[in-house]
Structure 1
Amino acid sequence: MAVLDFFVEESLVAKGAEAELWSGTMLGMPVVIKRRTSKAYRDPALDFKLRVNRTFEEGRLISKAYMAGVSVPAPLFIDPINFMIVEDYVKGELLRDVVERKGLMHSVGVEVAKMHGAGIVHGDLTTSNVLITSEDKPVIIDFGLGAFSNDVEDLGVDVLLMKKSLEANVPAKAGALYDEFMKGYREVAGAASEEVYKRAEEIERRGRYFQERAID
């Protein structure tokens, strides 16, 4: 489906709760297109406003991350009115499928710390939202739940999400891989990393407490 003269959507790659992901071309270059979809249960005016605002915000997040030197897909075209973000196509494997490869989690920790240093939190930082290129370079993807924040609580949530993702994917090696992740994070974040690490532990304890209370 042609959207602009220089832009073509070719095939649907994935369909999530909030958006569709398409492969396509832009000026002959391979790209990925994310388009936020309408929700029939929402008031049409509210639906339009939410999709415009969320597309705009996600575009700002990935643009700032890219400009700050964080390893993310290059944002090429952002069109909030059509609920669309076009990014450079990154060929790679999901981190979840190669997470035990030597040195990867250290590199992921470095990129996450750079992202946090730019005042950005991801909001869904799991092994499914990091691509690994053929050069073993991590690329953070899907900022749909992200936000601008320097709040240590938000930073701690990101770190805890990665820890929980590791525990779900590779329970036997999650501890060592998380340590590797935090080592890379500390190299960039320095002394500030300890507060983030401790806050992640605190958030995890809170979660356990409320789970136990619910069971009681």
Structure 2
Amino acid sequence: MEIIKRGAEALIYVDYFEGRKVIVKERIKKTYRIPELDFQLRRDRTRREAKLLTEARKAGVPTPQVFYVDEVNSKIYMEYIDGYKLKDIVDFISENEIIDIFQAVGENIGRLHSSFIIHGDLTTSNMILKEGKVYFIDFGLGFFSKRIEDMGVDLNLLREAVKSTHFHFLNLIWENIVIGYKKSFKEWEKVLKKVDEIERRGRYVER
């Protein structure tokens, strides 16, 4: 078992399932919680994430395919995506590649929002490039919502993540995310207005 990430809520590792290499996300037991409540929370969050991954895939967004959900042990067995995290390659690719990749990112976010899926943790660490496709991973903080506010927060989180991690490319990346988003989500104007509003609120709080 090769551990990929050990977080506060879950352990992510490489394993094998029915002869194929997979990623397993296992939600960790919390001893400070009442056992029955802990089981219910982990089971429900595991179910929700598996459903989000599956619905996103149905909407045309590349995500790891879910092979099996073990609700008793709060594990999701999913496709192993052998690619590169966008976070690790943005500094080493051409401007044209940045344009193509982030327009695709924007289009896929638009597809998520068209299906009322909020990712909840849109960062370049949760996007993997493989054979020209950008796969979205880790829907652990995701949920379903029709609220423009939630979609605005989703996009704003990505903008802030890009500003923090890829500051020198912020304008280029954001412009192309917006171009892609407009192509695939008909309510784009309302959401982008909300992003601006959220950003203004943030600046006001900082003062």
Q: What does residue 195 of structure 1 align with?
A: 190
Candidates 111, 114, 127, aligned match of 1:114: 111
Residue by residue, what CA displacement relative to the aligned partner does 1:100-128 show, whole Å, maximum 9, x if unpaired?
54211111111111111111000011111
Q: How does 1:58-73 map to 2 (within 5 A)?
A: 58-73=49-64
Q: 2:138 aligns with which of 136, 142, 146?
A: 142
d(CA) in 2 for partners of 1:16 and 1:136?
29
Deviation of 1:35 after TM superposition, in Å, equals 0.3
SS at match of 1:176: helix
For 2:25 and 2:132, how far apart are their aligned partners in 1? 24
CA distance in 2, matches of 1:208, 1:50: 35
Aligned length: 201
1:56 to 37, 47, 62: 47
- Alignment correspondent of 1:30: 21
Structure 2 counterparts to residues 63-212 of structure 1, below 5 A: 63-99=54-90, 101=93, 102=97, 103-133=100-130, 135-190=131-186, 192-212=187-207
Q: Summarize deviations over 1:119-178 as a string: whole Å, max 9, x none.
A: 100001111111111x22100000000001121111111111111111011212201210
Question: Structure 2: which amino acid aligns with 1:201?
Answer: D
AA aligned opposite 1:146: G
d(CA) in 2 for partners of 1:152, 1:71: 23
For residues 71 and 210 of structure 1, the distance between their equivalents in structure 2, rounded to whole angstroms, comes to 36
Which amino acid letter does the alignment assign opposite residue 29 of structure 1?
Answer: R
Alignment partners' CA distance in 2, 1:98 and 1:105: 13
Compute the RMSD of aligned alpha carbons.
Answer: 1.2
Deviation of the 1:57 alpha carbon: 0.9
Question: What TM-score, normalized to structure 1?
Answer: 0.89
Bigger relative contact order, structure 1 or 2, given CA contacts below 8 A and separation 6+? 2
